[in-house]
Structure 1
Amino acid sequence: MSISNARLEPYPAVYHHLGRLKLGDNWQLSGTLQSIRQLRADSVLPFFYFWGVFKLEDAMISLKTFSKSELARRVADIAMLEGEFLLRSGKISHRYFDKYRFEGDPLLLKPLAQAMSSLLPSDTEIIAGLELGGIPLVTAISLETGLPAAFVRKAAKTYGTCRAIEGQDIAGKKVTFIEDVISTGGAVTEAYQLAVQEGADVLAVVCAIWRGERELTIQGVPTLPVHPVFLRAELER
């Protein structure tokens, strides 16, 4: 891979995640990394990190394997907020679960994707993430499993391809939905209808968290299996 005049200082995460890796202010790469110019004498960087480009998995982030209970605790710690929040219903709540906080944290996203991958039906051919929260999850699971990912819009766009489901042709394919948090399953019902219209065989929905008050059932599609990593109670202990 060729990198021309790439500068490394925009990557402060390296400082944070790798104590043994120290980057100076004036690193520059040229061509195929055959020359390193303006190398600071006090900088230390193992040679194997420089094969074409940094391997993010190895060099940028050191990931730990969590037990299920530890992962649940960490998700709850980062996503459960205290304060005063206006809910969609118009009511005021002093607690709010901000799901995007754990979806945006790579130290949680990867182990969560691994846990969700283990719940996929074995005959899944395509995984389809629901807009918006299912998109980072389906991408991470696709990287984890090698399965192709599709992206389900809330409605078909009115320009270009005018498609509701992007990324893959799902007609005749066995599809598993990927969602972040499910309470009643309204979004899943709508996605199911869109997928069936395009000729897909929807096998199940795998979600990170089931926050519903009742049994694992999508109200609009009661026969669709639901496979959550966590139940609401597991995050509220």
Structure 2
Amino acid sequence: MDRPVDPIGEADLQAYVEDQLPVARRIEVEAYLCHHPDEAMRVMSDLRIRDELRLALAAEPSTARIETLVAARRLEGGLARSSLFRRVRQIAAVGVLITFGWLAHAEFGPLMVGEVVASAIPPAYVGEAVRAHRTALVRASMRSQPGASDYDPAEIRAATAIVLPQLPKDWQVKDVQIFPSSYGPSVELAARTETLGEVSLFAVRPGAFDVIPATVTHDQDVTAAYWQIGDVAYALVAKADARDIDEAAIRLARSLY
């Protein structure tokens, strides 16, 4: 007989972020987060803030005052026990990063970082989404390759465990295909839109649980916005303005909740 699982509370989530839980309780928290995407998104945000703060402290310049660094470390440890843990730590992280930024500015002068250098490397599935988009365009140009515009989201979910977002009413679906990928079956949906033109929505299960907000990246002549909710990752690809694609991706992500 399985033992009952204690309810997951705010203290458990904070302890999870601070690596203060035993392995068995961490597993219970992770199982809870799998079924509560809003909480999972909040926890992932806290994990990133924690890691950014620790990274800033680990990479501190030698010109920083010892008193300031000691105070920052004490602040990081103390915030984990505070009821205002999340809000204050965000402020602390920004403050530490700004402080180090000014120290670097004074030491080396202003840093000019290009857009490509500053951008994070997108996940590997984004590259597969771009290739699937180009393949869909080739298929659309061939008379011998008719598109399958009729599709059943429930059937796709049953066959692939991939949940497709609700599409805007003005999107005209032209083709839906199941593509092979490095992670298993993926879904490629091609549509024609008024704002973005020819667009592809790619969905795949990358094999790891994560919550990633919509993030824009570029690949030659196309722009992609990717995000992940739990076990499924998505990428919206089109030859369109980055802001328009970002806004469309955010709307699609919201329709999944």
- TM-score tier, shorter chain, comes to under 0.3
TM-score (norm 2): 0.19
